[in-house]
Amino acid sequence: MAFHLQFLVLLLFSCFSSIRCTSDHNLSQQPTPITPINRDLYRTSVALMEEIGALVNRHQDKLHMETFQSTNKGYKAELNVVTYCRNRTAIEDKSKFRILLSFGQHARELITSELALRILSILSEEQFLPKVDPLLLKKTLEKIVIKVVPVENLNGRKKVEEGDLCERRNGRGVDLNRNWSVDWGKKEKDFDPYEENPGAAPFSEPEAQLMRKLSMSFDPHIWVNVHSGMEALFMPYDHKNTTPSGLQSQKMKLMLETLNHNHFGDRCVVGSGGGSVGYLAHGTTTDYMYDVARVPMSYTFEIYGDEKASSKDCFKMFNPVDHLTFNRVLNEWSAMFFAMFNMGAHQMMDPQESTPFNMDHLISIDDYLNGYLIERKNRYGEKKEFLDLGLQEIRTYFRLFLLSSVMLMFMFCSRIAKSNRSHLPSISL
């Protein structure tokens, strides 16, 4: 009887163990839940641009919107640019402090474009920053011109809205933050062609072409490329594990550390993108803005990231999904941006606080003669080069000096040779 009882217990234990293992196996095989776009928080790209357009129309005294288009091999892109200037007639005033902000370069990062709308709403004075002196803010904004690109990657964004929630590339599968010319095309060992496709060549994508033209014509003092995926304040470089040398780099880092301390309690990562993210990125916009376009303060900001979210649950990983977090992100980062506007304008424009001219950004005559300078457009649309007005004359005079020196030397040598021949004795053969 005892034997049968033991056998029955073992049989029951085996049965329950089998059921538990099967149940655990089935649970492990269950697909990761995918968080959909929260339509109560996030507008579609069409609704977002309509709201921004209406905002611009209500405040034409200080806001202006332009739409640019470009096509490459049948692929067409559109770029909407909103310009803020308290006095519309002063938009082209080059004495003003100039700031260029781009949002939504990666399609899946919807929260960044919502931040663009919040910043524009504050600039229009339809929304206000708590604990900010409006008179001080007004004084700061009188000194600056801001250009905002609310959705840089409009075609990719539409694919996300149609259900491809992990898409970060543009409408034909190119990562716009790998399509710029600094260290373009280099692939690390962990290179993922889906995530980091750099395109057929630098600036092969119309979106990158339009952004480059915008940066060249506007010539900003501050550039910020706004992303999500973590909380970070990055400066160059992305393609190597180091920051630039020199005084300007120190000023950039000091600004980031101050903003991080005052607005985020030092919780954001600060430093170079290549040294902080955990991987190197080649062909990025910020490295181009700093190294080639010579923007004195070139940054990449990462405004949100859910590190606990599954890598397959992309919307949750890159965007807050509840009202409380959504509003906190927009409130904190919009306040930080306006503090940066104030710090940047004060640092770059106030003669009492000015620092010695940064020699790192001077360009040598040799570099100029080798064609190093990048072309820019002046306010009349004619092509000009950086430091063109003075250096073109220097180059011309330098070449004339070399030519005249060679001619004088040739004439001098000819006269000596002729004089020597006239004193030689005649020889009869």
Residues catalogued as catalytic:
302
Are 57 and 50 in contact, with CB atoms under 8 Å apart? no
C-alpha separations of 349 from 251, 329, 342, 406 in Å: 14, 30, 10, 46
- Residue 176: what are its φ and ψ, rounded to 5°? -65, -20
Q: DSSP 3-state helix, strand, coil percentages of the chain (rounded to 5)? A: 45, 15, 40
Half-sphere exposure for 180 (CA within 13 Å, toward CB):
25
Angle between helix 247-264 and helix 323-349 axes, rounded to 10 deg:
140
| Angstrom distance (rounded) from CA 52 to CA 60 | 12
Q: Are 390 and 363 in contact (CB under 8 A)?
A: no
Q: Determine contact, residues 110/42, Cβ cutoff 8 Å.
A: yes
Dist. CA 220–CA 290, nearest whole Å: 11
User: What amino acid occupies position 390?
Assistant: G
